[in-house]
Amino acid sequence: MNTATAVRIIGTAQRKCAQTLRRPAPLLLPVSTSAVQSCLQSTQPVPAARLPYRVKVSAGKRYAWCACGHSKKQPFCDGAHRTNAPSIPPVRFTPDKDRTVMLCACKQTKNAPYCDGSHLKVIFQDVVKSVKGIFK
């Protein structure tokens, strides 16, 4: 591992896992890639978007809804959870009829994979964080 790679890995680990890395590591400290990987893996879903996805689904077809939020093919799973969030598997579902559904994008729904309006709470929390940031 060269110095530039080590610096990049440490910088990423510090940004992504600030809660577990209490103090900054020296820039040239050798880092185990397994330690960095376990730190970068999320145990909580990441909101892919603030509003739900409107999707046409076909009866009898099997779908895998991304529950972790890391998929690049939202709202469906592309396997990204295997490396980014191995503890959050996709939700598999088979619709009973052809229809258009709203699939959750904030990943906070209690009725996965369908939207239940939880994104309103996520949006509100974002607004609160923004307002608090203004008055710091």
Percent of the chain scored above 90 by pLDDT?
56
Mean pLDDT, residues 54-58: 97
65-81 pLDDT per residue, tens: 999 999 999 999 999 99
pLDDT at 134: 86
In a domain, 19, yes or no: no
**pTM more than 0.85:** no
In a domain, 8, yes or no: no
CA angle 33, 17, 23 (to 5 degrees): 95
In a domain, 109, yes or no: yes
In a domain, 102, yes or no: yes
Q: Which residue range is the domain that position 65 belongs to? A: 53-135
Task: Report the C-alpha gap between 124 and 64 in whole angstroms.
Answer: 28
- The DSSP code for 34 is H
Counted residue by residue, the chain has a size of 136
pLDDT at 20: 40
Number of domains in the chain: 1
In a domain, 30, yes or no: no
In a domain, 87, yes or no: yes
In a domain, 27, yes or no: no
In a domain, 122, yes or no: yes
- 121 pLDDT above the threshold of 80: yes
